[in-house]
Amino acid sequence: MFIVPMCIGQLFKFFLKKELRTLGITFLLGFFIYSGIVQIISILCIMTIAGKPYAFQTCFKWCLFAVLLFAVAGCFRFDKKMLKKPDIKSLSMDTKIFYGIFFALVAFQMVMAVITRIFDGDNSYYVTQSVIAQKMGAMYTIDPNKGGSIMLDGRHALAAIPMWIAFIAKAAGVHSTIVAYTVWPVLIILLAYFIYHEIARVLFTDKIEMRPIFMIIVNMLMIFGNVSIYTPATFFLMRTWQGKSMLTSIAFPTILLIFLWMFKDTGEEEKKLSQKASLWGLLALVNMFSGMCSEMGVVFGAGLIALLTLVLLYSSKRLTVLLGAFCSVIPNLVYVVLYKLM
């Protein structure tokens, strides 16, 4: 879960601008490409062979082949320059203290996510679908509550996060519930706060001392955000394995981050166009991930992009922004067609 996205990101890091080819952003790129590989193969299997015996085994073999192919190829393109140590000595003592508080809060959330078990009604469906896929080979064709055969439900089948969890569990040789409740929260919590820190780097480019303060505020909003069972903070820390949790904690913040990069971009016109083309491509990958998380991601992801595109169009005065935005939401349009077909 940590090595494979990094290796895949190394293979496709040419996709990023040079200043964005850091260890964290390369991992983020690999994470979205990794999810896209599993998503495409899973949906193809769901739509073609879901009703056949051992459907998931076929899906698993193709996913494993594709993932290993890209990961092994990425190992040969690993850039050791990314492993340079951060410049901690230049930070003031106050900034170091605030960063220490931030890291302590993140560590606290990861520990609590691992040792605490918070169950709700959705556990009996989503996590059970991962277990059924891993143990029985069925893909959304067995009722997780009663055990009988059911018709394929497009609304749930196209949100392939449970199949991704089942794939990782089968590849690692562990139970799907262990991945969902123990390993997955650690990855998602770290990745979410990394994305928020990248947002802080853009917002406070010249005020490094403000970045840890911003992150502490984000932590507080997450930790004390359980004012109802429907808040993003509740899903983030209590239902981390759910698609809706990753939609609000990973996909939407990444969309905002990409647009912040676009707003900040001040290169020459020709250079800027090529740079932004890569950002629109990354945005399309995020939209694929949004659809994989939930059907709401298809709608709200496109809506968020439309809103931010209007702001970008006003600030840049360039009509090519509309073309980039349209290309980035093509995965959303494909998902709409798939929902109509199923």
Q: Which of 282, 256, 280, 262 is nearest to 199 (CA)?
A: 256
Cα dihedral sign, 70-18-261-25: positive
67-102, pLDDT tens digit by residue? 999 999 998 888 777 777 777 778 889 999 999 999
Q: Which of 251, 273, 253, 252 is nearest to 262 (CA)?
A: 273
250-293, pLDDT tens digit by residue? 999 999 999 999 888 755 455 555 566 889 999 999 999 999 99
The CA-CA-CA angle for residues 169, 175, 181, to 5°, reads 90
8-57, pLDDT tens digit by residue? 999 998 888 888 888 899 999 999 999 999 999 999 998 888 878 789 99
193-224, pLDDT tens digit by residue? 999 999 999 999 888 999 999 999 999 999 99
Domain interval for residue 86: 3-341
Residue with tokens 């899973």: 42
Total structural domains within the chain? 1
Q: Which of 39, 90, 83 is nearest to 63 (CA)?
A: 39
Provide the mean pLDDT of the chain.
Answer: 88
Q: What is the b/e burial string over 55-92, where b = at least 16 CB atoms within 10 angstroms of the residue's CB?
A: bbebbbebbeeebeebbeebeeebeeebeeeeeeeebe
